[in-house]
Amino acid sequence: MPTPYNEFIKHVRETGMIDATSSVLDWDAEVNMPENGLDQRAEQLSLLAALGHERRISPRLGEWLSKLEGKTEDEVQETNVREMRRAYDRAIKIPTALVERIAHVSTLAKESWAKARKESAFSKFVPHLKELLDLKRQVADAIGYKSERYDALLDEFEPGATAAEINTLFNSLRGPLSDFVKKLADAPKMPDVAILNRNFPIERQKLWSRQCAMLVGFDFNSGRIDVSTHPFCSGFGPGDVRLTTRYYEDFFSPSMFGTLHESGHGLYEQGLPREHVFTPRGQAASLGIHESQSRMWENMVGRSRPFWDRYYEQCRAVFHESLSDISIDRFYAAINAVSPSLIRVEADEVTYNLHIILRFEIERELLENRLKVEDLPEAWNAKIHQLLGVNPTNDAEGCLQDIHWSMAAFGYFPTYALGNLYAAQFFVAAKRDMPDLDDQFRRGEFSNLLGWLRKNIHQHGMRYRPADLVKNVTGSALSIEPFLKYVREKFSPIYGLQV
């Protein structure tokens, strides 16, 4: 006799399998697909999206949820019912016509954005951005929210988070962070970043990146690394996680740190509980928590002094033509150089969050109609000057730089900054539990950190909402202090400043 929960979870698993199938097709399209496959692939992906949507709004799902709520037998059932309810409510509240309209408009908007960015002509993008904002307001209104529309959109990416909370965090972060960036700009010591632009043969970068992924614990029996234009990580389940990276002959950083970043995502995916694959209990808690894993391995491990104390000599041997005259101090400073810049994706650890604060504030004002789309470039330029002291010379290096808004992804950006804050706070907790972590890194041991993340974060899947997870793991609510302390203690010595 199938129980209601068994019927429900079969439906949920099948929906998850359809999503994972889309992920395989997406990955293949980025990594392998010949150009003439595009049209057919797009059609297949639309069909799979429709099949998934059908299942997500199925009345039978609604009936199972009503039957099961309050009657779940353990935390696994509770998690799956809670998260499927959340997804179901979101899905049935948004009219199908609205979903289709957004898909249609954002296809056009992406084209228009690409053209506008190329020509740095914001006016071309204006009508599309206006319509997308209007459609996303309708989405927010359909879903409902307590205090502001932004919450309804944010919840898709960071369950339970609110714009007000994020605003409070960001308001307390922007001043101290901006001040610290200015302090570094006037510091007595300046890293020499040019050494990273020497010659680094791609074949050797490939081996080196692969080795870095292996030593932090990425399991190549459950994953692989390929090349794509924009690096990403896609988990089809804990047993099959695909990373991509990219290589530049004349730039050391992107491949190694990109690989470590994606490995961080990949370690999370590989650490999700296999028995719950294709269900919420077996999926990542949120985009912000996901980003905390990638940032921790990229920055707190891969750009740490203990890591390089262990591996610099080896790296120098691999790239001897370019590094033989470079001391570990110079190298370490170069890979950690801080420099206010115009482009988010090129930003360092310290300035990155300021780029996000800018986007969050502007998104919120746009959604609430406090900022008119026509006035966006001016508002952007004023804000980035205020936050980072830099001045875009055109909109391509200003408000047109990111693809996200053309894809209707409003409420997504804050998860990047949350990731950095979560990472710092998790890292403090990890060091509290393992005070010799730096020594472990100096011995090339990363398995205890990975074990700690597996036990405290990965294995729980969506069991806890991000805010609760942070409290459970670290003992307190998310705060900016661990992050501020981390950047001050790490970057002050590099720049010859007192902490």
List residues binding a copy of itself (CB under 8 A).
14, 17-18, 20-21, 24-25, 28, 32-41, 43-44, 47-48, 51, 219-224, 236-240, 277-278
If DSSP codes are grouped into helix, strand and coil, which group holds residue 305?
Answer: helix
Using the minimum distance from each CB to a copy of itself, give the nearer residue, 283 or 351.
Answer: 283
Measured between alpha carbons, how far is 390 from 383 in angstroms, rounded to an integer?
10
Q: Which residues does 72 contact at the CB level (< 8 Å), separation at least 6?
A: 5, 78, 81
- 180 alpha carbon, distance to own chain's centre: 24
Sheet hosting strand 223-227, strand order edge to edge = 223-227, 241-245, 233-235
Using the minimum distance from each CB to a copy of itself, give the nearer residue, 16 or 302.
Answer: 16
CB-count burial class (<10 Å; 0-12, 13-18, 19+) for 340: buried
Using the minimum distance from each CB to a copy of itself, give the nearer residue, 245 or 292.
Answer: 245
Helix, strand, coil in percent for the chain, rounding step 5: 70, 5, 30
Using the minimum distance from each CB to a copy of itself, give the nearer residue, 39 or 203.
Answer: 39
Q: Which two tokens stand for residue 260?
A: 């470590």
Q: How far is the CB of 17 from a copy of itself (least distance, A)?
A: 5
Q: How far is the CB of 235 from a copy of itself (least distance, A)?
A: 10
Q: How far is the CB of 3 from a copy of itself (least distance, A)?
A: 21
Q: Can you say whether residue 408 is alpha, beta or left, with left for phi > 0 and alpha for psi between -120 and 50 degrees?
A: left
If DSSP codes are grouped into helix, strand and coil, which group holds residue 224?
Answer: strand
What does DSSP assign to residue 193? G
Q: How far is the CB of 213 from a copy of itself (least distance, A)?
A: 13
Using the minimum distance from each CB to a copy of itself, give the nearer residue, 18 or 91.
Answer: 18
Question: Which is the catalytic residue, given 131, 156, 158, 262?
Answer: 262
Helix (H), strand (E) at residue 203: helix 202-215
Catalytic-residue membership of 69? no
Q: How far is the CB of 219 from a copy of itself (least distance, A)?
A: 8
Q: Tell me the one-letter amino acid at 342.
A: L
Measured between alpha carbons, how far is 452 from 267 in angstroms, rounded to an integer?
12
Active-site positions read: 262
